Structures are given as structure tokens and as C-alpha cells.
Amino acid sequence: MNLLAVPILLPLVFASVMLATRWPRVQRLLSVAGALGLFLVNLAILWQVDRVGVATLQVGGWPAPAGITLVADRLSAVMLVMTGAMGLGIAVYSLGEIRRRKQRFGYHTLLHVLLMGVCGAFLTGDLFNLFVWYEVMLIASFVLLTLGGRRGQLEGAIKYVTINLVASAFFLAALGVLYGMTGTLNMADLAHAVDRIDRPELLTVLAMMFLVAFGLKAGVFPLFFWLPASYHTPPTAITAIFSALLTKVGVYSMIRMFTLVFVQNVGWTHGLLLAIAGLTMVSGVLGAAVQSDMRRILSFHIVSQIGYLLMGLGLAGPAVAALHVPGRTLNDRAAMAVAALGLGGTVFFMVHVILAKTALFLVCGVVERLRRSASLDRVGGLATTHPVLAGLFLVAALSLAGIPPLAGFWAKFMLVRAGLEGAAWVVTTAALGTGLLTLYSMTKIWAEAFWKPLPAGELQRRDRVMTRGTRLLMYGPTFAIVGAIVAIGLWPASLEAFATRTAAQLVDPSEYVAAVSNHAIFSRSDRERAAMPADSGTSGEAPR
Amino acid sequence: MLGEVLTGFVAAAFAAPLARRLPRLAGPILALVPLGILAALTWRYAGSAAPPRTSVAWLPGLGIDLAFRLDGLAYLFALLICGIGAVILVYAGAYFAGDRRRGRMLATLLAFMASMLGVVLADHLVALFVFWELTSVTSYLLIGFDHEQEKSRKAALQALLVTGGGGLALLAGVVLLAQAAGTWDISALAGQAQTIRASPLQLPIIVLVLAGCFTKSAQVPFHFWLPNAMAAPTPVSAYLHSATMVKAGVYLAARLNPSLGGAAAWEWALIGFGALTAVTAAAMSLRQHELKRLLAYSTVASLGVLIMLVGLAAPEGGADAVTAAKAVVLFLLAHALYKATLFLVAGSLTRATGLKDARLLVGLRRAMPLTFVAGVLAGLSMVGVPALLGYLGKESAIAAAWERHAAGPAMLALVLAAPPLVVVGLRVGVAPFLGSRRAVVADGAGTAHEVPTGMWVGPVALAVIGLVLGLAPMLLNRVVSETAAAVHGAPVAARLALWHGFNAVVLLDVAIVLGGVALWLWRSSIDRWTRRLARLAAFGPERGYALALEGTLAFGRVQTRLLQSGYLRRYLLVVFLFAIAVVGAALVAAHRPGAIGAALGEIVHVHAEDVLLVVMMVVAAVAVVHSRSRVAAVIALGAVGLAVSLVFVLYSAPDLALTQVLIETLTVILFVLAMRQLPFFVDLSSRRTRVRDLVVAVLGGGLMTTLVLLASHVQLGDEVASAYFAAEAVPQGHGRNVVNVILVDFRALDTLGEITVLALAAIGVIALVRGRTGLEARR
């Protein structure tokens, strides 16, 4: 059964029904049910994709590249599952955290439309359609940011939306030019159309435009400022879902474009990616180290971790360039190993960082709920008063800092090993040093919020009462996520194997392209490829 | 052996509930865990001729196994970890009597013990690293145990950052080591010694691995964290920061000595840093008066000696290297026994009297007879009195240095470092019990009493073991020869005896003890001399640590202020500058100088109507920027849009032009309606800012124009999609307006998305308006 349209339609249907309902209780129930459904469908997609192969769907039955293709390879599928999982966790958590008032103003609807946009972005095989999903995500996240309408929120939201609109403009301009050059926006079609362009250096210039657009979305150095400027303003559940998904869509898009399409001059593009990766890690973590508010610290860490994700992509450059031409195999085993470890590390890191960051934000939300503040000057003593919360924080924080045997360690280990085997000394040093500074800022939160006694001025403020139900709603998802972090840490083998399979699919995109070509009218390009001289390295075979 | 390691972690999980149920018995009961593990390991060790090895695949994709191997070196450490661990658990159970944190303490100690056991048993580099980091984390939690105090928190952080930093270096080191050697198995590394030596990575490997060892084992210049770690409760100091964890660095250096030794860098780094550490820390111990700090500095000095001895035990060295390998084992064992005892004695003394200052503690032998026995035996062992194990340790260390070179740096370091250590042994183990005066008790409440059973039984047991082994060292023959063989990388036969005959080493030993006694007798004048030296400490490595941390944070603040300025206009400026930089650089890099201009010249054909439109747009754009009224600016903006729609008309896209005109008109009307409420523009930008913005705008626009023009020349010419749209709109889409069919059918999903965007925008506006009025109503 082809499920690929479900992750887009299901949230849309639930969002519409929730908008039409007037009973908050029904809305709450629907929100969790919808998120659960999405999670299950996405799991089914992952299972299918991992076992059977890349799945595609031509929307409306129109052939590619005229119609829109939905494609799920392993990368898309794992991103979908993470989206579903985090969506479910946040849907439950929000019931405890978000004020009823906000829930009435369409909070649940917005959350589900956001999930729809994110799923759409992970599923689409069409660049313009990706742009549309970006817009859906942008407007949903913008409204979520402003929900409540406090002054600080609006200020952050204005910066957020302005800069993201600039990113959209870059994206649109870039894809317009790309369409002008190639006549197609289907990603699989582009993968080969770009080979036939006689001036590949212009593609590299265009790649830079995409780099700026996606880089803004992903929050890389030096384009990340919108993120720390806005992420600390809304309720924690909203920040948590943003942190889990939004920047990751930017990274996903970069991975897609820089393994599938822009591999003409990897020395430049992927070298630049590595440089950006290192700078992003370091400047993000330095920003975090000097903050004194839990949420701001965590927001800067989002930026820092993006660097690690890009590191794996950058390291894979030589291998993806060599394997881009169909039929060619790569003799350089070392480069292949680096790419497998690097992209595999990126996938592993993606899963890890989504889990760890979400867990940390959820803990932060409980702290804010209890003490009305996440400022480290105003909290303290939580290790004694809330040992369970302390334990949850410690595990997630140590995982983020890459301490074994938690999920974050294996992610970092794969990337560091890829860096060392690829002789990328500078970025590897940056990755290791960033680990130490991450540890520093995590222990800062730990020492201030959990170890330090409550500041004298705060003693008379009592903890806000959490009802049993609220506690269950807020601790439940946190427990589940922290449990996953520990489980992955102790039994990393299956995720690592999956990540490596994913990397293989990314390094050699022929399976992806072939799956899309099944329902495509790319035939003229096959004809041309067959006519190409043999020495260009192609086998002359048409895709299956 | 995975079972043995995991047992500790499992037991840790049960420690807290047990301590709640049976508070008094929790310590002794939990002490059975390490003893049980030790029994199991001993059975394994004694039962097989070759070192037993077990392995469980952990991450097969990356070749990572949970492999464990029990050879002499591992067994010796397991002996220390479990044996002293049992003593510590009993002691801690009594030490924390009536403290509700007892369960947490015992649990963390057990978790540490299991991690440490993992370090020494691991036969896979990654497994070793995993447990290595776990010891750092448990150490952090234990140093910060009294976390209400800022001092403890700071010390814990310092220890974590120093050892954690070393840990990261070690991670890089082991990955490179495995890469160079082609194996992750530690026991297989020695066989690859030649391969490693031939690798260009050898020097980086040595530097990185030793960075891990030196930070963990508190070598100069990373030593400062250890004395500060004395903020931890005494059982923790005795166990982690004296007997076991700090020896992990020594362990790793010894473990890798057969594979990395033989390189001059390795040997001289170990001897040099070890000697420097021994001398520096021994000298610094002279300035200390607090019991635990005295012991801490002497521990650092002893770790220096151990590191130095590993350096002397070169894998291809001669008899002197064999002596050094044996010395590593004996000194390590002796030190662990007497130093753990002394720490526990110090803890008992402080518990009984409330005093920490060695100068105030006197005449306690009658009040605390059992602690006295333990203290004297351990103190004299540290001094190096024959018949105690400490003597053998010191004698073998001197012998190793002497055989290497009678006037070499190692010998010199030992001669300088040993007398102050004698002083420490006397001051902590002996002096508090001697003298006729009665000790003053801190709070003035009565006299000192012997500590409860749980707190003396362990120290006495350790001290007696030191005596027994000192009298009958042949008991150690098998362990010493097998351990020394692992350190040296070749078989070693050890025949230990109480007395090796009268020779130069004995003379030196006597001289050292006499030197120590002399230092002790003339302590007041020594104190005066060393006061000057102490001032130098202000420029020491700890200052370096503080500066590095502060510097990093200061840099972080500056860069964050620059990047995260809070001004949207600056953010936008950075975005455009970055875009111009990367796009421009790629464009320039791809062309020869002048080639862009030439290419553009070929492409661009100027028509009169184009010029007219461009002029119109430029004028309108300039008007937008210059207008002082919002309405005028909006209208000028509309003019730009109209000119664009004229372009569409010229290039025969009438439907697009129509849409564009409609949108422009609607936008202008909406803007004008909304802006009636707003005040006139106020010009806040300086001239310089405006010039800067102009430059950025012109660069950005120019770049984009160039890119579009260049790209317009590159076309594949096969527009499959547009051809399909045109061909299939009527037969399959049933619509004559192709654009409409595209929007509602061919690419309906795009439209669905865009409709969703509009709907959400509406929801957002409603929420914003209603939410705000709601807020205001409540105020």
C-alpha cells in the first residue's frame, strides 16, 4: 500500500476538524490521536522503505517531472519517524503545559499544520513543492510564535519571519534560475540534468544561493541569529518542537541537494560546508557558554549541533562526487569509508540530537512550570527537591555532550572517526573542542539549577503546584525520550546499521533516481545519455 | 567478564533502596559485591594459564566489541579496585551514618567501581574509553557531592573539564591508534608495535594518548585539579583520588607501553613529566598543613613517580627496564594500600576531633588506639621502613632509577621528591598520635573517641595487609611477574624477598629517610624558605586554567554580542553580505578575469523598450528609498511592480502580467489603508550607513542580475514538463487555460499548500487580535 500521501493529508484533516470543533476536550483528544496516527503511519513507511526500497508516489497520477513526486528513501523515512515521534510527544506534553486559552486559539491546529509542512518537506521530490512546504512551516511556526501576543514574543517573531522570508526569497530566486537552466524541478531529474549543463561552474554559483537559503533555515554560522532571538519567547513545548524539526528541515534539504544535485565542484561546495560546520559548532557553543538562561543556552546549542550534522555531509564530498555518474563505482575505498561514516554519523547524530534537545527542552519546561522562570539566577536546589527531574536532565545533557554510553557518544564517535580518517584535522578538532564546551554549559545548568541551593531571594516563592494529570502529561513524554536515549546508547548496533544503510543510499543516489524514473517521462535524457561518448564514465544504461 | 562489570552497575541501582531499608548494614552488605566480583575474577585468573578473554559484539558495524581480558596488570588493578572498594563501602556506610544521602553515596561509589573495573578489564580501545569517561562523570558527581557548597561545585567542574578535555584527546588518540595499528584490540596492539612506529601518525597518537593519561593522573601541568578535588567526602578522596581513578592514567600508559614504548617521544615524555610532577608536588606538599591536602600533593608526587617508572620500563630495554617494570607494580600496590589507609585515617581523625589541621592534632594514641595502629603502619610504610610493603616499593623504584643512570634525571627526581613524602607519612600517620598533650576538639564538646567499627576495621585491614606483604613478599611473585611482563611487553621473573642485601640502593634509601626526618625537624625554617616559592604558584597552571576558561568565555561574549546584536537591520546586513561573499566568490572563481564581462556582452542585446522599462524601475526604486511619506513610497513600489508586469507583456505572458497587475494594485490599496494610522518616516540613518547600505544593495542586485543573465544563456532546451503541460492540458486536464490546469490539477499539491498558508495567516491574525484584546480586557 502506498502511504506516502498520508503524512501530509492526515495532519491536514485533523487540523481542519480541530479547527471546526468547538469543544476543547475533543480538540485535545483529536490532537493526540492525530499525532499518534501520524507516528504509526510514518513508522510503517520507514519499515517499508527499509525493507523494500525507495518508495515513490506521483501525486494525481501525473508523471514526473510535470507532476509532483513524493519520494521516501531511508533519510526521508527516518526524518518522518522522528517528526511523528516528536509530534506525538509534544502533543501530549502541550496538554500539560500550554494554557487552555492558547489551546482555544488554534494551538492544536497550528501544531498539526506544522507537522504537515515538515512531513511534506521530507517527502517531496520536487524543489518547488519543497518551497511550498517551507512556506507552510514558516507561517505555522510564525503564528505559533506569536500565540499569546506578549511583547517579547512579537519582537522575536518579527525577526524570525523577516529573516526567514529573506531565506524564502533566496530559495525562490535560486530555484527559478535552476529551472531556467534545466527545465525541471524534479530532484531526481535534476540529478542527471545537471550533468548535461555545459557550464557546471554556474551550478556551483547557484549552489551557493541554495546554501544561503537552506543555511538560513538550518541556522548555520553566520546566519543563525534569528534562532536565539526568537526561540526563548514562546511556551517550551513550541520551542521544543521547533528545535526538533525546523532547523533539521534545512539540514535535510542541504543533505538532499548536496548529495543529489550539487556535486560538480565538491572541493569548493563541500569544503565550504566543512568550514561552515566547524564555525557553526564553535560559535554556537560559545554563545551558549555565556548565557544564563536555560532556554537561551539550549537555543544556542541547537545552532552548535547543526555544525556536527553538516560535518558529516562535508566529509562525504569526494565520494558523492565520484559516484554521481551512474554506473561508475568508486575504487577509493578510503573515501567510501569516510563518506559512509560521515553521512551515517550525520543520520545517527540527527536522531540523537532531536531526542536529546527535545528532552532538554521538556525538562526546561517543567522547571519553568515549577519556578515560573528558566533563568539560572532564579532557580536552584532541584536535585534535592526533584531528583527524578534531575536524573532526566542529567542523562539528556550528558548525551548531548557526547558522554558514553549514551546515544550522543556514538554519534560523535562516528563523525570524529570520519573526520580523522578523512584527515580533516581542523573540523575534527573543532568537533572535539565543542564537545568540551558543551559539557561545560550543560554542567553550568546542572550546577546552577540542580546543585546550587535556591537563591535567598527565591526562598519564599513556593513551587507552583502541578496536578497529578499535568505531571503525567509533562513527565511521560520526557521519560519516553530519555529512555530512547539510553536504549540507543546501550544498543547502538541497529541504529548504526540503519544509518550506514542510509548513508549508502545517499552516497550512491542511483536507487533514488531509478525509483523516481519508474513513473517519469525523463526518456529523452536517457536517449541522450545513451548517445554520450563512452569515455565520459557512464555505462550508457538507462535507469531501471 | 561483562557480568562482573555489570554487577557493579546493577548493585548501584539497588544501593539507595537498600540504604533506606537497612541503613546501618547497607555498607557492609554492599561491600560483599566487590568481594564477590573479586572472587569471581580470581577464580577466572587462577583457573587458566593464558589470560582469559571474553567478548560480546556491541556495535559490529564499526567493529566495536565489549571485549575484556584478564591478564596480570588487569588483575592487579581489579584487586585494588575491588579490595579497597569493599573497605571504602564499609567505611562510607559508617561515615555517612544518619545522613540521608548515604544511599546516593554508596550507589555512586558502586557505579564508579564498576566503571573503573571496566577500564582495567577492557580489551577494546573504545570499550576502555567508554568506561574511562564514566569514571570522569562519576568522579564529577562525587567531588560535587556536597553540592550546596560553591567550592565543591567549582572543584567538580574543574576536575571534569580537565579530565574531560584529556578524554577528548584520548578519543582522538585511540581512533588514530586503531587506524595506524589496524586493530581495536588492546592485546593485539603490542604485536603491531612496528607498524605503529612506521606510521606517520605515531607522534600525534603519543601526544593525544598521553594528554589523556596526564590529565587523568594529575601530572604537571594538569595536577591542580586533584588537590581541589579534596572537596569530596573522605571516602571518595581515598578511593577515587588516591587509590584507583587517578591511577587510570598510569594504567593506560603501562598498558600501551609495549605498543607505543620504544619511541623516544614516549619515553622522554613519561620520564620528563613524571619527574617534574614528582618534584613539584613533593615540594608543594611541604607548604600544606591540612591533612587531606598533604595527602593530595603526596599522591600527585607518587603518580609522577609511577609515570616516570613506566617511562623507564622501555619494552626493548635491558635489565634496568625489567627492574622498572617490577617497580611500577610494587610501588603502585604499596602506594594504593598505604595512601588509602592514610586517607581513611585522616577522615577518622577529622571525624573524631573536628580538626583538619595536622599541626593541631596530637596525642590521640590512647583515644583512638585502633586508628593509631592503622595510621602508624601506613605512615611508616610510606616512610619506607623495612618489613612494610612501602619499603619494597620505594627500594625497587630507587633501584630502577639507579640501574638506568646513577646520575640521571629519574634518580635526581627521586632523591628530591622522596624526603618530603617521608614527611607527609610521618605527619599524617604518626604525629597525630604521638606527644603528651591531649588534642583539642574543635567544638570543645568533650574528648576524642575512637571512631565506630565500620571506620576503623577497613584501615586496619589494609594496613595489616601491607605488613603481611612486606614481611612475606614472595606471596606477590606471580602477580608481580605477570604484571611486570604486561608493562614491559616481555616475560619477567620476579623473586621478591624482604632483604636484597646491603648495596647502594639501601644506602640511598637510608639517606632519603634521614633527609625526610631532617626536613621534619627543621620544618619551621623550611616553612620560611618555601613561603617565597609559594608566591610563584600564583602564576602556575591553575591560573592558566582559569585564564583559559575566562578567556574562552570573554571571547564568547564578544562574538555573541557581535553576531547576536539584537538589531534586525544588522542581521539582514550579515545575511546579504554573506550571500554576496559566497555567491560572488564562486562566480569570480569560476571565471577568468574579464570573462564575466565578455560573457555578459555576448548575452545582452539591448532593445529600446527594455531600456525604457529599466529606467522606469530604477526611478521608481530610487523614489521608494527617498520618499518621506509612506504612501508615496508604497505607490512608487507599485510602479516597480507595474513595470515588471510590462516585462511580462513584452515577453508574451499576458496572464502573468494580468495577475501581477492585480496583485500590485491590491497590495498598494491594502498598504495605504493600513498605513494611514502610521506616522511619517523619521530618518535615523547616518550618511555613512546609507552609503554602506547602498553599496550592499548595488552589489547584491548586480550579482543577482549577472547570475540570471549568465544562466539565461545556459539552457538544456528540453522542457519536458512544459511540453507535457501544453500537450495534456486539454485531453487529460480538461481545461483550455494551461496555467489554471497546472495550478488546480497537475500541481494541485502546491496549491493545497499555499491555501493552507493563507488559512493559517487568517488564523494568526484572529488569534493575535482576539488574544490581545483578551489580554487588555484582563488588565
Does pLDDT of B64 surpass 90? yes
Cα gap B131→B115, rounded to integer Å: 5
User: What one-character DSSP code corresponds to residue B243?
Assistant: I
| pLDDT reported for residue A529 | 46
Query: Cβ of A197 and B767 within 8 Å?
Result: no
pLDDT digits (tens, 9 = 90+) for A429-440: 999 999 999 999
Closest by Cβ to A180, choosing from B552, B711, B764: B711
Cα gap B323→B330, rounded to integer Å: 10
Q: Which helix (H) or strand (E) holds A226?
A: helix A226-230
Find which of B142, B583, B751 to mutate to test the A interface (most A CBs within 10 Å of its CB): B583
| pLDDT reported for residue A448 | 93
- CA distances B14 to A218, A249, B103, B146, B395, Å, are 44, 43, 9, 22, 44
The lowest-confidence range among A120-129, A150-159, B14-23, B534-543 is B534-543
The answer, for B777 touching chain A at a CB cutoff of 8 Å, is no
| pLDDT reported for residue A331 | 66
| pLDDT reported for residue B53 | 94
pLDDT digits (tens, 9 = 90+) for B207-241: 999 999 999 999 989 999 999 999 999 999 999 98
Residue A420 lies in a domain: yes
Give me the residues of B, 156-195, that contact A with CB < 8 A: 156-157, 160-161, 164-165, 168-169, 171-172, 175-176, 179
Which of the two residues, A276 and A523, has the higher pLDDT score? Answer: A276
Angle between helix axes B102-121 and B248-260 (nearest 10 degrees) is 10
Query: Cβ of B583 and A209 within 8 Å?
Result: yes
Q: Is B374 exposed, middle or buried (0-12, 13-18, 19+ CB in 10 A)?
A: buried
The closest of B246, B258, B252, B262 to B208, measured between CA atoms, is: B252
The closest of A243, A244, A231, A238 to A157, measured between CA atoms, is: A231
| pLDDT reported for residue A542 | 38
Chain B residues touching A410 at Cβ < 8 A: 59
Interval B503-513 mean pLDDT: 87
> What is the pairing mode between strands B53-59 and A69-72?
unpaired
Query: Cβ of A117 and B748 within 8 Å?
Result: no
Residue A527 lies in a domain: no
Whether the CA torsion B638, B644, B647, B651 is positive or negative: it is negative
| pLDDT reported for residue B378 | 95
Residue A239 lies in a domain: yes
Say what percent of chain B tops pLDDT 70.
Answer: 96
ipTM associated with this complex: 0.93
The closest of A347, A193, A320, A200 to A266, measured between CA atoms, is: A320
* Range among A184-198, A485-499, B404-418, B633-647 with highest mean pLDDT value: A485-499
pLDDT bin (cut points 50, 70, 90) of residue A530 is very low
| pLDDT reported for residue A163 | 93
Say what percent of chain A tops pLDDT 70.
Answer: 94
Residue A539 lies in a domain: no
- What cell numbers appear for A532 in the block? 554520450
Chain B residues touching A453 at Cβ < 8 A: 148
Does pLDDT of A3 surpass 50? yes
User: What one-character DSSP code corresponds to residue B408?
Assistant: S
- What cell numbers appear for B378 in the block? 601506613
Q: What secondary structure does DSSP assign to A127-190, as a single string? A: HHHHHHHHHHHHHHHHHHHHTT--HHHHHHHHHHHHHHHHHHHHHHHHHHHHHHHHS--BHHHH
Query: Cβ of B757 and A398 within 8 Å?
Result: no
- CA B298, B299, B300: angle at the middle one, nearest 5? 90
pLDDT digits (tens, 9 = 90+) for B396-406: 999 999 988 88
Closest by Cβ to B590, choosing from A205, A413, A437: A205
| pLDDT reported for residue A149 | 73
Residue A316 lies in a domain: yes
pTM to 2 decimal places? 0.94
Chain A's closest residue to B205, CA to CA, is A420
Rg, chain B, Cα only: 38
The closest of B23, B249, B1, B299 to B121, measured between CA atoms, is: B1
In sequence order, the 6+-apart residues with CB closer than 8 A to the CB of A315 are: A270, A274, A338, A339, A341, A342, A415, A418, A419, A422, A424
| pLDDT reported for residue B573 | 93
Q: Is A426 exposed, middle or buried (0-12, 13-18, 19+ CB in 10 A)?
A: exposed
Query: Cβ of A197 and B714 within 8 Å?
Result: yes
* Range among B268-282, B600-614, B653-667 with highest mean pLDDT value: B268-282
Find which of B582, B705, B725, B728 to mutate to test the A interface (most A CBs within 10 Å of its CB): B582
Q: How many residues does chain A have?
A: 544
Domain count, chain A: 1
Chain A residues touching B172 at Cβ < 8 A: 416, 420, 428, 432
Cα gap A316→A424, rounded to integer Å: 11
| pLDDT reported for residue B439 | 57
Say what percent of chain B tops pLDDT 90.
Answer: 57
pLDDT digits (tens, 9 = 90+) for A335-371: 888 999 999 999 999 999 999 999 999 999 999 988 8
Cα gap B267→B309, rounded to integer Å: 10
The closest of B351, B454, B345, B337 to B89, measured between CA atoms, is: B454
Cα B720 versus chain centre, distance: 57
Contact between residue B618 and residue B626 where contact means Cβ atoms under 8 Å apart? no
pLDDT bin (cut points 50, 70, 90) of residue B537 is low
Interval A279-304 mean pLDDT: 94
User: What one-character DSSP code corresponds to residue B64?
Assistant: E
What dihedral angle (degrees, nearest 10) is formed by the CA atoms of A466, A472, A477, A481?
Answer: 90
Residue A433 lies in a domain: yes
pLDDT bin (cut points 50, 70, 90) of residue B438 is low
Does pLDDT of A236 surpass 50? yes
Q: Which residue has the cell 487580535?
A: B769
In sequence order, the 6+-apart residues with CB closer than 8 A to the CB of B694 are: none
Residue A228 lies in a domain: yes
| pLDDT reported for residue B778 | 47
Query: Cβ of A147 and B59 within 8 Å?
Result: no
pLDDT bin (cut points 50, 70, 90) of residue B594 is confident
Query: Cβ of B62 and A383 within 8 Å?
Result: no
The beta strand positions in A18-159, using DSSP E, are: 55-58, 69-72
Q: Which helix (H) or strand (E) holds A29?
A: helix A24-52
Does pLDDT of B777 surpass 50? no
The lowest-confidence range among A123-132, A218-227, A459-468, B673-682 is B673-682
pLDDT digits (tens, 9 = 90+) for A18-45: 988 878 889 899 999 999 999 999 999 9
Say what percent of chain A tops pLDDT 90.
Answer: 69
| pLDDT reported for residue A44 | 97
Q: What secondary structure does DSSP assign to B285-301, as a single string? A: HTT--BHHHHHHHHHHH
Q: Which helix (H) or strand (E) holds B205?
A: helix B202-216
Interval B542-558 mean pLDDT: 91
Residue A537 lies in a domain: no
Does pLDDT of B779 surpass 60? no
In sequence order, the 6+-apart residues with CB closer than 8 A to the CB of B398 are: B411, B414, B505, B508, B509, B512
Query: Cβ of A182 and B716 within 8 Å?
Result: yes
pLDDT digits (tens, 9 = 90+) for A148-198: 777 888 888 999 999 999 999 999 999 999 998 888 899 999 988 888 888
Cα gap A315→B345, rounded to integer Å: 56
What value does the mean pLDDT of chain A take?
90
Interval B700-711 mean pLDDT: 89
| pLDDT reported for residue B489 | 87
Interval B260-275 mean pLDDT: 93
| pLDDT reported for residue A544 | 33
Q: Which residue has the cell 487540523?
A: A15
Question: What is the domain extent for residue A18?
Answer: 6-522
Chain B's closest residue to A151, CA to CA, is B772
| pLDDT reported for residue B526 | 79
The answer, for B546 touching chain A at a CB cutoff of 8 Å, is no
Residue B450, by phi and psi: left (phi above 0), alpha (psi -120 to 50) or beta?
beta
The lowest-confidence range among A73-87, A100-114, A208-222, A467-481 is A100-114
Contact between residue B279 and residue B125 where contact means Cβ atoms under 8 Å apart? no
| pLDDT reported for residue A531 | 43
pLDDT digits (tens, 9 = 90+) for A78-137: 999 999 999 999 999 999 887 776 666 788 999 999 999 999 999 999 999 999 999 999
Which of the two residues, B681 and B672, has the higher pLDDT score? Answer: B672
| pLDDT reported for residue B717 | 66
The closest of B473, B306, B482, B503 to B402, measured between CA atoms, is: B503
Cα gap B76→B168, rounded to integer Å: 27
